[in-house]
Amino acid sequence: MSALRESSVLNDLELSRPISFSLEASSIFGRLGKRLMVILRSPGCNYYQRRQGGCSYCGFSLLTEPRRRCTPDEYASQLRYALEASCAHDVDRLEIDLYNSGNFLNDSELAPMARSALAQVYASVPNLALLSVDSRPEFINTPHLRTWLTSHPRSFAPELIEIGIGLEVFDDDLRVTELRKNFSRQDFASAVKRLSKTGVGLLTYVMLKPSLMSDERALSEVVGAAEFAVETAARYRVRGRIALEPTFVVRGTTLEGQAMKGLYSPPTSDLVVEAVTRLHHSVGAVRVGLWHEGLDSLRDPIETTTLQKYNLHQDLSVFTSF
Ligand code: SF4
């Protein structure tokens, strides 16, 4: 399966190149295509930079470039570079995931001019089937969305866009206090309601065992969160899909401290497969996170290959010999 993927990690400070990018086979709304993940050279998440710190498991600060803010043109060049170097223009059906290691819709992290410059680049990709970005719910507000959407060429359909929100778990106390995400299911639902006025779709991340808990609790949290997300998207008639993120320990995080004391261990392969199976039966096919963001991961390559097969074919039978 590795032959399906090209990747490049750039270590210089060339501001016209992203921090990293990768192109891999992918299922886009049930049809085969390729997914281009681009990690932009951005200053990172304001929420993480608070005095109290960010989400307890988050290692995205390792993928940021805090020394210099890129100009809109430099952001556009980074995306252009990834498209050209990966030969993504030759792909029949392309998903572009643009990550700024934080909140794409927060003006303090990515200025409206930078979003607009990026929009001019991806909107001109003829084979684009999906553009995916991430944001905390509070930045999914009507003025931000309107400004961004109106910065696209007239011919560009908002339905090609999807915004990812990390709901992660069902239980509000767990999400707010232990994961330090500081938003409730109600906040999530309000953001989805705001999305409903735009045509933009929703990707909900649910996270398997993001803190100390039993395996059974981990399963019930991801299934509960996914069911809530699907029901909420249906209520507001927003197109929605689910991404399962099996937790891995990133250096410098609260989770790493707990793991080093022997208190925490990440989900096993069996637990990941059980979570995929339960979610598949409960909310339909999900996309499983495969640790491509450029952060360290100790996952077994066989497990990764099998999960990639599931992602491509959305068929639980890939796990029969696992
Ligand atoms: S998970 Fe997202 S919101 Fe939380 S600290 Fe990391 S980048 Fe920021």
Q: How far away, in angstroms, is 127 Cα from ligand 1 center?
A: 30
Of 159, 155, 186, the residue nearest 170 (C-alpha)? 186
Shortest-distance atom of ligand 1 to CA 53: 5
In a domain, 9, yes or no: no
User: H helices within the chain, ranges in order?
Assistant: 72-85, 112-122, 142-150, 172-173, 185-195, 215-235, 254-260, 269-283, 301-313
Residue with CA at minimum distance from ligand 1 atom 2 = 102
Q: Is the CB of 54 under 6 A from ligand 1?
A: yes
Q: pLDDT tens, 214-266?
A: 999 999 999 999 999 999 999 999 999 999 999 988 888 888 888 999 999 99
Q: pLDDT tens, 98-135?
A: 999 899 999 999 999 999 999 999 999 999 999 999 99
In a domain, 166, yes or no: yes
Q: What is the mean pLDDT of residues 272-283?
A: 97
Q: Is the pLDDT of residue 12 over 70?
A: no
pLDDT band at 275 (very low <50, low <70, confident <90, very high): very high
Q: Are strands 128-134 and 161-168 parallel, antiparallel or unpaired?
A: parallel
pLDDT at 322: 64
Query: Is residue 141 classed exposed, middle or buried when 0-12, 13-18 and 19+ CB atoms within 10 A define those classes?
Result: middle
pLDDT at 13: 53
Q: Are strands 128-134 and 240-246 parallel, antiparallel or unpaired?
A: unpaired
**Domain count within the chain:** 1
Q: How far away, in angstroms, is 87 Cα from ligand 1 center?
A: 30
Ligand 1 pocket mutation, candidates 40, 42, 48, 178, criterion most atoms within 8 A of CB: 48
In a domain, 7, yes or no: no
pLDDT at 250: 83
Q: Is the pLDDT of residue 149 over 90?
A: yes
The residue among 8 and 218 whose pLDDT is bigger is: 218
Q: How far away, in angstroms, is 166 Cα from ligand 1 center?
A: 9
pLDDT band at 46 (very low <50, low <70, confident <90, very high): confident
Q: How far away, in angstroms, is 49 Cα from ligand 1 center?
A: 9
pLDDT at 292: 55
Q: What is the mean pLDDT of residues 162-177?
A: 98
Shortest-distance atom of ligand 1 to CA 58: 6
Q: What is the CATH number of the domain that holds 209?
A: 3.20.20.70
Q: Is the CB of 226 under 6 A from ligand 1?
A: no
Q: Is the CB of 55 under 6 A from ligand 1?
A: yes
Ligand 1 pocket mutation, candidates 58, 108, 139, criterion most atoms within 8 A of CB: 58
Q: Is the CB of 60 under 6 A from ligand 1?
A: yes
Q: What is the mean pLDDT of residues 83-111?
A: 94
pLDDT at 294: 55
What is the pTM for the complete model shown?
0.92
In a domain, 2, yes or no: no
Round the average pLDDT of the chain to a whole number and report it: 89
Sheet hosting strand 240-246, strand order edge to edge: 6-9, 20-28, 31-39, 94-99, 128-134, 161-168, 201-208, 240-246, 287-288
pLDDT at 272: 94
Q: How far away, in angstroms, is 146 Cα from ligand 1 center?
A: 23
Q: Is the CB of 57 under 6 A from ligand 1?
A: no
pLDDT band at 2 (very low <50, low <70, confident <90, very high): very low
Ligand 1 pocket mutation, candidates 55, 178, 250, 253, criterion most atoms within 8 A of CB: 55
pLDDT at 128: 97
User: How far, in whole angstroms, is CA 292 from its chain's centroid?
Assistant: 11
In a domain, 57, yes or no: yes
Q: What is the mean pLDDT of residues 13-38?
A: 91
In a domain, 8, yes or no: no
pLDDT at 5: 41
Query: Domain range for residue 169?
Result: 14-319
Q: Is the pLDDT of residue 158 over 90?
A: yes
Ligand 1 pocket mutation, candidates 39, 45, 253, criterion most atoms within 8 A of CB: 45
Q: How far away, in angstroms, is 31 Cα from ligand 1 center?
A: 30
Helices (H) and strands (E) in the chain, counts: 9, 9
In a domain, 79, yes or no: yes
In a domain, 85, yes or no: yes
Q: How far away, in angstroms, is 44 Cα from ligand 1 center?
A: 9
Out of 44-58, 77-91, 175-189, 197-211, pick the least confident.
Answer: 44-58
